[in-house]
Each structure stands twice: as structure tokens, then as C-alpha cells.
Amino acid sequence: MKIGDGLEGGVVVETVAGSSLEFPPCTLHAVFTTNGGFLAGINYTELQLADVISEMLSCQLANFPDGDLDSVTDTMSAYLEAMDGAINYGDDNLFISVLKSWVDLLPALRRAIRHPTSPVRRLFAGFVADLRAFGHRCHIQAKCGCGCMVEDIGTHAIEQHMLEI
């Protein structure tokens, strides 16, 4: 099925080798190359890529609040949806495997919420509540994303890796 004839308001961007483009989740796009090349994509719904998404968010938040707020908000929403899925799925080992992405993202988030009107506060408030609930119910020995081997991963997550909003 061809949809190209029915699309309006498109944008054409020409890049050079070494450049990359970032699209918010669910953005319809097409890529054409005039020479061979390497295309990398991120599936925002894959928990295995949570570390990649958190690194991208860290880069976006480095320019906060002067950067592209819509792009940051879209990426945050996709990240939070994936992380909430990991917590609410009920598999402690699944959450432990993605906790490292949260640990890596915390410094950038802490900088971003310093702004009193930051949308980051609103977006992350629900997730922080879920993370706290996870910490209160999960009391297994595990290696945390920060590298520490802990007796009680839930308590450790609450005491060491909580974002105060």
C-alpha cells in the first residue's frame, strides 16, 4: 500500500556522512541513501535498549530547558512507558536488568528538575512513585546498575537512586 501521495507537510533533510537525525517516537519517516551507508535505529519499546534511550535523554537534557522540549518530552514519555512496563510486569529480574539505565540517567534528571516549572517533574512523578513501590516490595539480593552487590535491591533503590520531586 502506498501512502506517499496522501501525505502533506513533509520535510526533506539532506545530511552528510557522520551526521545523524533524531526523530521522536512514532514519527513517520523514510530514509533514502545515494551511497551505501549504515543506518541505526532505536525501538523505544524494547527494554533491552533502555540504556541507549537513557543516554540519549541525558544528551537531550544537557541543553534543557533551551533544547527542543517536544523532542525531550516524547523521548521521556517513551522511556517512562518502557520502564513502567518493567516495574508493573512483576518480574524483579527484568526490572533489575533495566535499573542501570535509571541510575545512568539520574544526574541529568536531577539537573533538569532544578527548574521550578520543569515538565520533567510532572512526567517523572508517577514513575518515581512506581519505583518507590517496587522498592518496598522487592527484597532480593542482586547486583544494582550502579555496580554494587546489595542484599536488598529494593531498599537500595529507594535509598540511593530515588529522584526527589
Residue 7: predicted pLDDT:
75
Q: Is residue 27 part of a domain?
A: no
In terms of pLDDT, which residue wins out, 47 or 10? Answer: 10
- pLDDT-derived band at 31, boundaries 50, 70, 90: confident
Q: Is residue 115 part of a domain?
A: yes
Q: Is residue 8 part of a domain?
A: no
Distance from C-alpha of 109 to C-alpha of 106, rounded to nearest angstrom: 5
Q: Is residue 81 part of a domain?
A: yes
Each residue's pLDDT tens digit, 109-162: 888 887 777 777 777 787 788 788 888 888 889 888 899 999 998 899 889 998
Q: Is residue 1 part of a domain?
A: no
Q: Which residue range(s) make up the domain with 66? A: 47-160
Number of domains in the chain: 1
Q: Is residue 153 part of a domain?
A: yes
On whether the pTM is more than 0.75, the answer is no
In terms of pLDDT, which residue wins out, 155 or 32? Answer: 155
Q: Is residue 38 part of a domain?
A: no
Q: From residue 78, how far is each of 16, 31, 155 by CA, in Å?
A: 28, 22, 26
Residue 25: predicted pLDDT:
66
Q: Is residue 11 part of a domain?
A: no
Each residue's pLDDT tens digit, 44-103: 555 666 777 788 788 888 776 666 667 777 777 777 777 777 777 767 777 777 788 888
The contacts of residue 6 (CB under 8 Å, 6+ apart) are none
- pLDDT-derived band at 30, boundaries 50, 70, 90: confident
Peptide bond into 24 cis (omega under 30): no
pLDDT surpassing 60 at residue 38 = no
